[in-house]
Amino acid sequence: MRDLKTQLKDKALELGFPLFGVSPADPLEGAAFYARWVAMGYAGEMDYLKRNIEKRGDLTKIVPGARSVICLGMEYLQPSPKKFSTTEGRFASYARGDDYHELIKTRLFELWDYIKSKTSGVSGRVYVDTAPLLERELAERAGVGWRGKNTLLINKHRGSYFFLSEIVSTLEISPDEPATDHCGNCTKCLDACPTNAFPDPYVLDASRCISYLTIEHKTSIPQELRPKMGNWVYGCDVCQDVCPWNKRAKISKEPAYNSRDGFDKPPLIEWMQLDKESFNKKFRGNPAKRPKRRGLLRNIAIALGNSGDQLGIPALIVALTDEEVLIRSHAAWGLGQLKGKSAHEALLKQREQEKDKSVLEEIDAALANFKFKTLS
């Protein structure tokens, strides 16, 4: 008869988790580093990461009597285009289909029910981005993979394009051997980062990361970082795309993660014109609802400004009068990058009627980019 751990691993695979490992629920060494990382401001505006710091090093504070953590990985990688037109954006691979949270949580509960059917007297909780867990350290201890220099977990056979989730419980089960680092002297991820978001190997300054800027950052994106964002409108995969270990990454077999129509090459001009109703309809059940319409259109305005293609000007002119301050301000920046007579006229017109100080500052900065010859 197969032992319990083998049965659980097989059940996890059946549920779509090809990566499975067990970590003891011992205190986590990374808690002190995490506290320093937050104190240095590297978490940006993500205040939820600044809460419950004391719980992150002690699993018994979230599950009393915790003995083990089952760490699971589910792949999400989608085929990615190699070429883009000037008016096409880029979308992180994980976010092109349905939101993973509910899907994974449902599968975790199925696995947890299976565990309870095979044991007695166990208690625990399931997690997918929903608890103060240092999940990458746990997954590394469980042998699922090692933390790369880009801070993401890398598996020797499957790369890094996978979601992590956990079952923390009182279950007594033998732990796996921890994973070892196989990055060696490679620095491709660090060298490729468009915004220099890695102050050191294995350290991410999230406040400079394109994924953070396009998803978690709720306010105006610093002007000096905008040109470096290229055509990314939601997330960024650059540090994963260049990782040699991702040559072994597998395309996800989960239908829910399949790219929705247009999400592999977002049509920037079309999406720039999304109203509230069309935005909610298009992104229902998709991760990109997180930054809301104002955040996504802010990102698209930057991508259009970076495109160098004046075909984007009419859509930006319309956005210049949007009810959302964040959209108006970044539309002004985009017009200032693309220039052109119609852009200049629109900026001057909006300047006369704009009431918000931050938008006026963006308009003035954009107008400063225009240079017209004067008659002598």
Q: Residue 335: which of 319, 355, 353 has the closest Cα? A: 319
111/264 Cα distance (integer angstroms) = 32
Handedness of CA 33, 214, 228, 345 (dihedral sign): negative
For the chain, what's the residue count? Answer: 376
Q: Are 202 and 147 in contact (CB under 8 A)?
A: yes
Q: Are 89 and 232 in contact (CB under 8 A)?
A: yes
Q: β-pairing, 146-147 with 19-24?
A: unpaired
Alpha-carbon Rg for the chain, nearest whole angstrom, is 23
Q: Which residues contact 179 (CB under 8 A, 6 or more apart)?
A: 140, 143, 144, 145, 146, 156
Given 3, 129, 181, 191, which residue is catalytic? 129
Q: Which helix (H) or strand (E) holds 140?
A: helix 135-141
Sequence-ordered alpha helix ranges (H) in 233-356 = 238-241, 268-272, 276-282, 292-307, 313-319, 325-338, 341-353
Handedness of CA 269, 346, 309, 82 (dihedral sign): negative
Q: Is 113 a catalytic residue?
A: no
Q: Which residue type sits at 44? A: G
Sequence-ordered alpha helix ranges (H) in 176-221 = 188-192, 210-215
Q: Are 295 and 218 in contact (CB under 8 A)?
A: yes
338/359 Cα distance (integer angstroms) = 18
Instruction: Write out the catalytic residue numbers.
Output: 129
